Structure 1
Amino acid sequence: MLVGLAGDTGDLPLLLEVRKTDFDTACGLSEIPEPGASADELQQWARELDESMFGTNPSDEPVSTWTDLARDQGMTDLARVTLIRELDSIFMDQSRLRRPKVPRSLATDPLDWLARDFEELGDLPQALRAQRLYAALQETAWDRASAGYTLARLEREAGRLPQAADSLAAVRDALATPGDDSLLHWQRVNLGRFIAEEHYRLTLALADAGRPEETRALLAAADAVFGELSGNAANGVRELAERTAARVREVN
């Protein structure tokens, strides 16, 4: 778009090469003028692309646009401070998450990307803040289970093993008493695999931390979840399950 705005028709071969990169660019840049077009036609295309995809007001861009740019340029402290302010503002006013046309429904995606961005920046405490609230606000059993095992993973990676065990217990509660039909097939898909994997990884962490009773208890829970899996979901976890069982035998 920026190249097109310059209005140099000598750049058209370059733009057309970019359009050929892959299927997405072929679709997204399908309106690029063909060779022989005038400078006015090139600039008109660029202005229309700018208006439809970007706009002219930087304040219209989501915060993530600027924090991603700052992180990519090595300005991690600036990105982190901006993200903390964004997370603080949501904690102070959760009504910001309400959907304008469905006020009783929440759009919790901002918390999800905040947790991911903090994790990428290596700030696990802030990632945990965002993920805890994200998990607490989920409405379907599937979303509660998915957010819960991610929360457990972050807690494990932060060394908060008892909290991680509690988060996985909440995940198992969601599986056992979902309250809706969103988890009808969790045993057959990656969600079930990921939940089982996190149980075994936390079991290994507890064993390494010298907590034998908690290790044995969580291994039993992990095996129960694993026993529910079917097909490829179970096959994907089997090696980790066997390695964890061997490690727990060493602890005993």
Structure 2
Amino acid sequence: MLEGGRTDLALLREGSSWEEVARDRARRALALRAAQYDRRDTDLALLRHLLKHEAEASMTDELRLAAVLVGLHGLAEDLPLLYEVRETTYDTWCGLGGMPEPGESGDRLREWAEGLDYSCFGTDPSDETLFTWTGLAREQGMVELARVALIRLLDDIDFRAYQNERQGKSPDSLDTAQLRSLAYELEDLGDTFQALRAHRLYVPLESSVQNRVPALLKLARLERQTGRLAAAISTLAQLRDALARPAEDTPPYWRGTNLGAFIVEEHHELAAAAAADGSLTEGVREVTEAATALLAELSEAARASVRPVSTPESPAS
């Protein structure tokens, strides 16, 4: 995966292809990853250049990496550049939090960079998660390679979940962060079915009602998008049961936020899809009545933000 990045890093070190590499998001990301594992004191100028261009992609892991690699040189003169990059968007402002401001010392900058380097990066490629490599593969257009690698990881987790169930063990040993990431990445790659597999494993592991409600909402959406309409109707019923629990156990202020609007929208979308299917008459009635009741509970602002129903989607293969 790093071969192309190493080639580009060599070109950058020779003083050539700076703009060609820096303006190409995929090549820039790989060059930064190559620089992460092959660090040289003479790289500061090219790192500054890549950092400026990576800011155009907003908050990415490679932007944080570029800031760290620049900051590790411990030069106070880089603080204005780093601060300018941090101010690019709200996301970069949050993602580069804790960064020293212009006027502070180079030692303070190095300390900040070393802390992030230790917690997020380092110099050993084997320490990286699979998601780092699949993300880079996707950047290079190797979508199928990334998808297959993610499915293999999901298969392994699914097998462990099956073994736990057979042996009567708690499913707590499963990595919820991994499952969340898998569901997100697979859906982003267009594989809604595999995203549903991952998310189905994740939902039962979420014990907090506050987190379970949005998890159930996503599960219902994925079920609807893959044509599992009866399952989606059941999932939304579980979601409504969770909302009906005592106030301290439910997501705070859901009636006045986008979460409430999204819940109503999913009820509308599912009702439309089930009506188009024609075989779930009772389910259509249940979901439609629930949508009306939930809409009435929303604040005026949240109610106004509920989007109209879209055209029912074709089930994914």
CA RMSD after TM alignment: 3.7
| Alignment correspondent of 1:182 | 250
Change (3 A) 1:49 1:139: closer
Q: Gaps spanning 5+ residues in structure 2: where?
A: 1-31, 50-69, 71-77, 88-92, 162-171, 311-317
| Alignment correspondent of 2:218 | 150
> How far did 1:84 drift?
1.4
Cα contact 1:188–1:230 (8 A) shared by 2: yes
The one-letter code of the counterpart of 1:22 is: R
Q: Quick one: distance in 2 between partners of 1:105 and 1:232? A: 41
Q: How many residues align?
A: 225
Q: Quick one: distance in 2 between partners of 1:9 and 1:152? A: 49
Q: Does 1:163 align with 2:213?
A: no
| Alignment correspondent of 2:134 | 67
| Alignment correspondent of 1:220 | 289
Change (3 A) 1:204 1:9: closer
Q: Quick one: distance in 2 between partners of 1:13 and 1:63? A: 27
Change (3 A) 1:160 1:178: farther
Deviations 1:142-192 (A, max 9, x none): 222111110111111111111111111111111123695233532122221
Cα contact 2:183–2:195 (8 A) shared by 1: yes
Cα contact 1:141–1:180 (8 A) shared by 2: no
Cα contact 1:207–1:215 (8 A) shared by 2: yes
Q: Gaps spanning 5+ residues in structure 1: where?
A: 38-43, 95-103, 245-252
Change (3 A) 1:10 1:140: closer
Q: What's the TM-score once normalised by structure 2's chain length?
A: 0.60
Q: 1:126 aligns with which of 194, 197, 201?
A: 194
Secondary structure at the aligned position of 1:93 is classed as helix
Secondary structure at the aligned position of 2:85 is classed as coil
Cα contact 2:230–2:280 (8 A) shared by 1: no
Q: What's the TM-score once normalised by structure 1's chain length?
A: 0.73
Cα contact 1:67–1:82 (8 A) shared by 2: yes
Q: Quick one: distance in 1 between partners of 2:247 and 2:98? A: 42
| Alignment correspondent of 1:229 | 298
Q: Quick one: distance in 2 between partners of 1:86 and 1:152? A: 23
> How far did 1:91 drift?
2.4
